[in-house]
């Protein structure tokens, strides 16, 4: 299994990162948990044999696939040698690109054409002529830069809320966001859910959890210190969140190799 990230100095602000995943014969069948990163994504799966299992529901992954935001981890399985290329988006990007209620595709992988045939057709042209990851990045950057966007007062305010959450590494409460954005709690909740896909409270909680795991995986600080640094009252509070997001206990998780998750967290 090989996961490679590609970044461009002039990356469109809609995109968090581009990636290529190669599944090699030596690890077939391959299975891994996928962490809830808090981002939507579009991936082109070039080969058959890939699927996701979300809450016991099987979702085939084939060709141009749109991934909504996930609040809990899910299982990824590949039964054949394969490859895929895609990008993860800034939390508000999918709404800006497709002008959709992102909450409606929460916890789902679906064919992009089910949401937008015109946008799907444009991406299909790029991937049907796929040559190298670098060329795909260049072609996607050009397409995204030329795409019309839905930008209004609501997207501007939610972008500001996202910046506040990310700048604080998830160590912020709703009252602070309301004070800084000067909007009502009802507006924040409604628009955040529509534009990002989940409520601001859930986003804060998951963002904080992922930041903690990233710091741990990159050996920045001991796990016990991280638990308190990220405002977990004690280990039992952390264990509760861990089971919520990862569907297993920390003890069980850390005993496993989790190669794919480690590569994602070290990015």
Determine contact, residues 7/60, Cβ cutoff 8 Å.
Answer: no
Q: What does DSSP assign to residue 102?
A: G
140/127 Cα distance (integer angstroms): 10
Residue 10: its pLDDT value, please?
60
Strand segments, DSSP code E, in the chain are 2-6, 15-23, 30-34, 41-54, 57-67, 74-78, 82-89, 109-111
Query: What are the structure tokens assigned to 58, written together?
Result: 């099987």
21/1 Cα distance (integer angstroms): 7
**Rg of the chain (C-alpha set):** 18
Query: What are the structure tokens assigned to 164, written together?
Result: 């506040």
Residue 9: its pLDDT value, please?
57
Tell me what the pLDDT averaged over the chain comes to.
90
106/77 Cα distance (integer angstroms): 20
Residue 147: its pLDDT value, please?
94
Residue identified by tokens 């996607």 is: 140
Residue 119: its pLDDT value, please?
97
Mean pLDDT across the stretch 84-104? 96
Instruction: Assign 223 a pLDDT band (cuts: 50, 70, 90).
Output: confident
- CA neighbor of 133 nearest in space, from 64, 62, 85: 85
pTM of this structure:
0.91
> Could you report the per-residue pLDDT of 147-183, keeping only the tens digit for each?
999 999 999 999 999 999 999 999 999 999 999 999 9
Q: For the chain, first and last CA: distance in Å? A: 15
> Could you report the per-residue pLDDT of 16-58, keeping only the tens digit for each?
999 999 999 999 999 988 988 889 999 999 999 999 999 889 9
Query: What are the structure tokens assigned to 241, written together?
Result: 């969140």
pLDDT greater than 80 at residue 199: yes
Residue identified by tokens 């989940």 is: 198
Burial of 132 (0-12, 13-18, 19+ CB in 10 A): exposed
Task: For each of the domains in the chain, give its residue range(s) and CATH number, in order of start.
Answer: 2-146 (2.60.120.10), 153-265 (1.10.10.60)
Mean pLDDT across the stretch 241-259? 83
Mean pLDDT across the stretch 199-220? 87
């Amino acid at each position: 299994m090989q996961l490679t990230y590609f970044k461009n100095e002039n990356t469109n602000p809609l995109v968090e990162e581009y990636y290529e995943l190669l599944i090699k014969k030596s690890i077939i069948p391959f299975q891994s948990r996928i962490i809830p990163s808090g981002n939507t994504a579009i991936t082109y799966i070039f080969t058959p044999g890939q699927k996701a299992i979300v809450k016991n529901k099987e979702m085939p992954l084939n060709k141009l696939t749109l991934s909504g935001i996930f609040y809990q981890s899910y299982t990824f399985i590949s039964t054949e040698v394969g490859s895929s290329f895609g990008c993860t988006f800034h939390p508000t990007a999918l709404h800006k690109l497709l002008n959709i209620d992102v909450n409606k595709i929460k916890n789902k992988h679906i064919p992009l054409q089910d949401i937008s045939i015109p946008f799907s057709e444009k991406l299909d042209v790029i991937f049907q002529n796929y040559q190298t990851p670098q060329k795909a990045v260049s072609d996607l950057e050009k397409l995204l830069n030329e795409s019309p966007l839905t930008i209004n007062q609501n997207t501007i305010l939610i972008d500001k809320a996202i910046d506040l959450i990310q700048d604080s590494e998830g160590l912020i409460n709703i009252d602070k966001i309301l004070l800084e954005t000067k909007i009502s709690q009802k507006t924040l909740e409604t628009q955040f859910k529509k534009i990002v896909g989940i409520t601001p409270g859930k986003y804060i909680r998951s963002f904080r959890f992922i930041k903690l795991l990233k710091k741990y995986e990159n050996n920045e600080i001991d796990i016990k210190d991280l638990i308190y640094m990220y405002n977990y009252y004690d280990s039992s509070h952390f264990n509760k969140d861990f089971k919520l997001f990862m569907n297993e206990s920390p003890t069980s998780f850390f005993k496993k190799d989790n190669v794919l998750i480690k590569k994602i967290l070290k990015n």
